[in-house]
């Protein structure tokens, strides 16, 4: 049997410095009989790992050359492909963001239908316990909480000015050092009071990351309100506890309709008791029809990380909805993710008998069948 060839594509999303495969994981794949082609890193966004780090194990190829790769090569990347309309003929392993009714999902899946390609969406690669085999959730929560705390501290000193843009940190310790300093300054200017933080989804990967960052930044344990299914199921939202927290961090996995967590109207009902000034929607379901935070309906970006909600002053209210938060820590996030993905990748040579890939393929075919009639093309057409 010919060896499986993986083609690691360069990322195109602005400020996306992560990689689906770290150099160490590429080495392990090659040692197990795989071939790996790695697209050279573009200058912008520059991959966190140097091209030279891959050279001992992989073949470097031109950036953005994957459309011309042989049809049997597996194209692996992280974020969604650029919005183009040519049919997709390859097998792609990536986050496609098109299975939950997100905006533009028909166009994304329609390209696979037109080209006869296959999508294995990384978000839905699950083990026998229905747990994702690899996820960026921990680092998403960690980075989201960091930005939320920095925004809180910034608001105290610059209520009328949005938080300045952020660039990726070379190491996690660099991030923690900066956040800890900013929080200390904010607490000093807030009469010595640290922020009260409510985290929904606290028991998951994302929630654990958010909690770990808060503790590393010096937030007292007593200031963290940890919610999960037990708390949100006990009563219907919107929740007064969110209104009374300084910071709300949403870390849930949204896969079905749920009651709203907080709305603008709810916050305006009792303005005198509102402390909430920062919302970080790590889940980032801005275009999901079931979004439990309706006013968080636009994406934010690292160069403009916050959006102010009009009509709220003293305190102001702004939100963070960056859909690739782990890119704030590209090295650690990439290493953790690719190492978690490795065991499943090693099974791909026998994908038809590997449950992870079998189930992901079935889900793709199920979603493909939901395309509107006008989108249902075949390769032969």
Between 205-216 and 137-157, two packed helices, what is the crossing angle to 10 degrees? 40
Catalytic residue among 13, 28, 79, 92: 79
Our answer to whether residue 7 is catalytic in this structure is no
Q: Which two tokens stand for residue 98?
A: 């098109």
Catalytic residue among 7, 97, 166, 367: 97
| Beta carbons within 10 angstroms of residue 55's beta carbon | 12
Which residue(s) pair with 121 in the sheet?
94
Query: Measured between alpha carbons, how far is 239 from 249 in angstroms, rounded to an integer?
Result: 13
Our answer to whether residue 79 is catalytic in this structure is yes
Query: Please, what is the end-to-end C-alpha distance for the chain in angstroms?
Result: 31
DSSP-derived 3-state class of residue 304:
strand
Placement of tokens 């011309």 in the chain: 68
Backbone angles phi, psi at 220, to 5 degrees: -65, 145
Which residue(s) pair with 118 in the sheet?
91
Q: Which two tokens stand for residue 31?
A: 């040692």
Kindly provide the b/e burial profile for residues 34-49, where b requires at least 16 CB atoms within 10 angstroms of the residue's own CB: bbbbbbebeeebbbbb
Q: Which two tokens stand for residue 93?
A: 């392993």
User: What contacts 24+ positions apart, CB below 8 Å, involve 166-173?
Assistant: 166/302, 166/303, 166/305, 166/328, 167/15, 167/302, 168/15, 168/17, 168/48, 168/302, 168/327, 168/328, 168/329, 168/330, 169/328, 169/329, 170/331, 171/331, 171/332, 172/142, 172/329, 172/332
**E strand or H helix at 230, and its extent?**
helix 229-234
Of 16, 162, 115, 81, nearest to 368 by C-alpha is: 115
Query: Measured between alpha carbons, how far is 2 from 270 in angstroms, rounded to an integer?
Result: 66
Active site residues: 79, 97
């Amino acid at each position: 049997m010919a060896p499986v060839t993986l083609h690691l594509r360069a990322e195109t999303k602005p400020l996306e410095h992560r990689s689906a495969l770290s150099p160490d994981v590429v080495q392990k794949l090659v040692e197990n009989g795989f071939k790996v082609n790695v697209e050279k890193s573009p200058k912008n966004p520059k991959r966190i790992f140097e091209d030279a780090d891959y050279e001992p194990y992989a073949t470097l190829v031109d950036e953005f050359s994957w459309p011309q790769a042989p049809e049997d090569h597996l194209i692996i990347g992280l974020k969604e492909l650029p919005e183009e309309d040519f049919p997709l003929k390859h097998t792609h392993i990536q986050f496609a963001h098109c299975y939950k009714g997100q905006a533009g999902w028909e166009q994304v899946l329609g390209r696979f239908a037109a080209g006869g390609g296959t999508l294995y969406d990384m978000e839905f690669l699950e083990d026998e316990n229905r747990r994702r085999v690899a996820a960026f959730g921990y680092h998403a929560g960690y980075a989201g909480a960091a930005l939320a705390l920095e925004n809180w501290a910034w608001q105290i000193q610059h209520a009328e000015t949005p938080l300045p843009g952020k660039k990726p940190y070379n190491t996690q310790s660099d991030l923690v050092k900066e956040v800890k300093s900013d929080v200390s300054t904010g607490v000093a200017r807030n009469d010595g009071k640290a922020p009260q933080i409510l985290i929904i989804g606290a028991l998951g990967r994302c929630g654990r990351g958010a909690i770990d960052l808060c503790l590393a930044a010096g937030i007292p344990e007593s200031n963290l309100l940890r919610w999960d299914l037990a708390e949100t199921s006990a009563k219907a939202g919107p929740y007064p506890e969110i209104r009374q927290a300084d910071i709300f961090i949403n870390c849930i996995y949204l896969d079905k309709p749920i009651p709203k967590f907080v709305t603008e109207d709810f916050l305006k009902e009792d303005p005198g008791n509102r402390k909430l000034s920062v919302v970080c929607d790590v889940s980032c379901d801005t275009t999901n029809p079931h979004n439990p935070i309706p006013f968080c309906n636009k994406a934010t970006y690292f160069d403009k990380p916050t959006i102010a909600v009009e009509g709220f002053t003293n305190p102001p209210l702004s939100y963070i909805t960056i859909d690739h938060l782990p890119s704030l820590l590209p090295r650690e996030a990439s290493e953790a993710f690719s190492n978690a993905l490795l065991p499943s990748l090693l099974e791909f040579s026998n994908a038809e008998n590997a449950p992870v890939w079998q189930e992901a393929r079935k889900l793709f075919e199920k979603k493909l069948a939901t395309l509107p009639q006008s989108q249902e093309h075949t390769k032969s057409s």
